Structure 1
Amino acid sequence: MKLDKYTVGKRYGKALFELAAEAGQTEPVYEDLLQLRQIYQEIPDLGNLLSDVRLDQSAKTTLMGQLTAGFEGIVKNFLLVLQRYNRMADLPFVIDEYEKRYDQEQGMILGQVTTAVALAPEQKQRLEASVAKRLGFEKAQLTEKVDPSIVAGVIVEADNWVIDGSVANQLAKLREQLK
């Protein structure tokens, strides 16, 4: 049975996080993974190339040698495991899962806030504090998205929660009640 990239990311990300936690290395591993994410963003086809079964093994070994040269210990060994199982294309999903677990360990939740107009910095800080408290985290980091179609209010998406306080949503509910 072939696993989808999200399942692979969850499994391998969880395993890597547990291994790093056991070794007391969650922070350095996270920093290395951020570097790897940057490399993958700069060379988008790298993962597919390293996972391609048609690529000659010696070419893969050369590429992997160049990629792993900047890393050591847990991250280097983990990359070699991913390469051995042709999972290098799934590395971005592994990094996402690791990051999610790392942020949870740090008491942080990541999310997105959608507003009709840009938030002032102090409004964003208050909203992040409120979201963190409501969802049981120490702190929240929200990325902003501006969407004038919501009219006013906010929509917060974080940790599989959606809090829709937009005027557009309230108007839609009112419209539904009036039918």
Structure 2
Amino acid sequence: MSQTTVAKRYAQALFQLAQEKQVLAEVGADLKELVTVLESNTELLDLLGAPKISADRKKAIVAEIFSNAHPAVVKTLQLLIDKKRVNEAVIVAKEFQTLASSALGVADATVYSTRALTDAERAEISVAFGKLVGTEQLNITNEIDPSLLGGVRVQIGNYIYDSTVASKLEGLKRTLVG
């Protein structure tokens, strides 16, 4: 069984628990923080995956480091330690975010532009592209790409909406050259 499949199962279980207890936002925020900590601190993930350290000690470390996190997040991490799948914690957290966003009518989008977007532009893009994909709101991450020349390219999940000058010039070139 692939890591992603297993991670989705853990994420689904955590999502259902958070939904039942009505703490989706809190658990989601804690998992976002967890991802930040684990991605910026690879030594911690190495420590939690070290075979020479007992599972009880690892669980105590997790409980201490994430003492302010929601208990469901801490228990999920401890379960991943028990099942020797702590290396999948980031994938579980990201899968949870996807499930929670979907339940709340929110989608993540990456907008590539030649310059940083203003808040008004972000709001306008959120409304326009949110309608296209059937969500109420988009969480927009703005990536600067000077090679676009102008316009924007929006990626929402597997969908890409490209209205950049570079893509229009490429289309024109294909039409003229054949």
TM-score, reference length from structure 1: 0.85
Task: Give the conservation status (yes or no) of the 8 Å contact 1:129–1:139.
Answer: yes
Distance in 1 between the 2:48 and 2:106 partners?
33
Q: Distance in 2 between matches of 1:154 and 1:72?
A: 38
Tell me whether 155-164 or 43-52 shows the greater mean CA deviation: 43-52
Q: Paired residues, what number?
A: 177
Match of 2:90 among 86, 89, 92: 92
Q: Give the aligned partner of residue 21 of structure 1.
A: 19
Residues of 1 paired with 2:117 and 2:66: CA distance?
Answer: 41
CA deviations 1:2-22 (Å, max 9, x no partner) are x33x33332221221012212
Aligned partners of 2:121, 2:63: CA distance in 1, in Å? 47
Superposed displacement of residue 58, structure 1: 5.3
Percent of paired sites with the same residue: 26
> Which runs of 5 or more residues in structure 1 are unaligned?
none
Deviates more, 1:64-73 or 1:123-132: 64-73
CA distance in 2, matches of 1:175, 1:126: 30
Give the CA RMSD over aligned residues. Answer: 2.2
Partners of 2:75 and 2:131 in 1: CA distance: 38
User: Structure 1: how far apart are the matches of 2:57 and 2:5?
Assistant: 28
Shift in CA distance, 71/155, structure 1 to aligned 2, threshold 3 Å: closer
Return the offset for 1:52: 2.5
Q: Name the residue aligned to 1:113.
A: 111
TM-score, length-scaled by structure 2: 0.85
Q: Which runs of 5+ in 2 are unaligned?
A: none
Structure-1 separation of matches of 2:59 and 2:71 = 18
